[in-house]
Amino acid sequence: MGRTSSWVGFRTSPAEALAKLQLAATGEFHELPEAPLCAVTLESGWFVVVSSADFRFVERARLEDLSLDCELIGTAVDEHAMVSQALAYRNSTLEWSVIHDGSVGRAHLQMEGAPPREVHGMTERARAKRQPGVDHVFGVPVDLVAAVMGFDLSAEHRFETLVPSPAPWRAYRHPDGRVWSIRVGGPGYQLRIGAPDDEPVLKERASTRPLRDLEALIAEQVADGFAPMPSP
């Protein structure tokens, strides 16, 4: 039976990565990625979050947003369609991508940017293999990420189960008493706006890049005189 999985490795702290993803660790560990969402901290320093049975971690708009103020690599494999891909972002900019689509051909490999030099030798060796019925190039994006991060999805690691968790509110107060709060949530981000002696009004805004939009809105409010409030 074919596997469909995706994972993203962050060059930032586990706490920051989980906050970006609106996830929380449960303290439950397994040697293999048995939960729908799980994570592992590698000796190489990368923090990897794995999503089973979907491609959520190679959506370009999502990776662009998640890489705000950090570096990451998103990887995915679909053994049913024989598609594999790896995309590296830093500070919301694509640095490189390596994509194989078996429906185009077993030798297919599309590259953007400047991927690590190891990919060229890996590709030559994979294309040189002539085993009938085997798509050797399919493994190139995954092998490249393994070389960069030191992560192999099929190897045993100390995977911790993750669960969805609401992002914390970031609150700001104006000298006139108004309070303005924002957090990533739902299909985008949420706003909570209050005036003195009034119940706060909750608003939701859809966004494909909520982290970037959140920071832009905070900058506007700070310029308007709002100052950060201490976390509760």
Could you tell me the pTM of the whole model?
0.90
Q: For position 187, what pLDDT does the model report?
A: 86
- The chain-wide mean pLDDT, for the chain, equals 92
Is it the case that residue 128 has pLDDT exceeding 90? yes
Whether 186 and 170 have beta carbons less than 8 Å apart is answered as no
The secondary structure element, H or E, covering residue 141 is helix 140-149
Nearest one of 103, 46, 104 to 75, comparing CA atoms? 46
Rounded to 5 degrees, what are φ and ψ at 52? -85, 140
Q: For position 221, what pLDDT does the model report?
A: 96
Helices of type H across 22-69: 60-66
The secondary structure element, H or E, covering residue 217 is helix 210-223
Percent of residues, the chain, with pLDDT higher than 90: 79
Domain with CATH 2.20.140 in the chain: 170-228
- Token pair, residue 228, equals 């950060």
d(CA 175, CA 168): 23
d(CA 7, CA 82): 17
Tell me the pLDDT tens digit for each residue of 24-82: 999 999 888 888 999 999 999 999 999 987 788 889 999 999 999 999 999 999 998 99
Domain spanning 170-228 has what CATH number? 2.20.140
Q: For position 155, what pLDDT does the model report?
A: 84
- The DSSP output letter for 56 is G
Percent of residues, the chain, with pLDDT higher than 70: 98
Tell me the pLDDT tens digit for each residue of 150-166: 998 888 899 999 999 99
Residue pointed to by tokens 């074919």: 2
Sheet of 170-173, strands arranged across: 201-206, 188-194, 179-185, 170-173, 227-228
Whether 85 and 139 have beta carbons less than 8 Å apart is answered as no
Q: For position 46, what pLDDT does the model report?
A: 97
* Helix (H) and strand (E) counts in the chain: 5, 14
Q: For position 1, what pLDDT does the model report?
A: 43
Coil, strand or helix at 33: coil
Coil, strand or helix at 9: strand
**Strands 201-206 and 179-185: what pairing?**
unpaired
